[in-house]
A = this chain, B = another copy of it.
Amino acid sequence: MRVVVQPEPFDAGAEASAFAAGRSDIGAVVTFTGVVRSLEDDPIMAMEIEHYPGMTERAITGIVQTAMDRWDLADALVIHRFGRLEPGAPIMMVATAAAHRAAAFEAADFLMDYLKSRAPFWKKEHRADGGATWVAAKDDDEAALDRW
């Protein structure tokens, strides 16, 4: 298990290559990468991510441990940035490795649902007109946890 919380950009491809590299007991690797999105009809200048130092690492580690207890995972990785991020930049990634495809897919999906609603990050979108809005949690986000 590896959990990284940092302001710096990361190279999702390089991380994916290094993750579980050279292991022949693994049949399936799933990665999810979250990217700062800026739509043409609602462009943002930047995404600011606030977090709760200390609790963040603790919460993510707990979530990953839950996933590793529940699915037969060979390894799991979570990287999550904080600070000011530009459109198109990677926000975070998860990677899961397992003998079988279903475990890798389900665990990655589980990790994303829990990271979204249980890891102490808050997103603020900065717009060109100087306005800034905290991203609101969706009812769906909380409801998604009931899937597991």
Contact = CB atoms under 8 A, between A and B. Distances in A.
A28 B33 contact: yes
A88 B23 contact: yes
List 9 tightest A-B contacts by C-beta distance, closest first: A13-B17, A27-B37, A24-B87, A24-B88, A13-B13, A29-B33, A13-B16, A24-B38, A31-B31
Nearest to A101: B112
B105 A22 contact: no
A14 B12 contact: no
Nearest to A37: B27
Interface string A2-36: 00000000011111111000111111111111111
Contacts of A13: 13-18
Nearest to A22: B88
A136 interface: no
Contacts of A112: 101, 105
Q: A11, A13, A15, A26 — which one has the most chain B CB atoms within 10 A of its CB?
A: A13
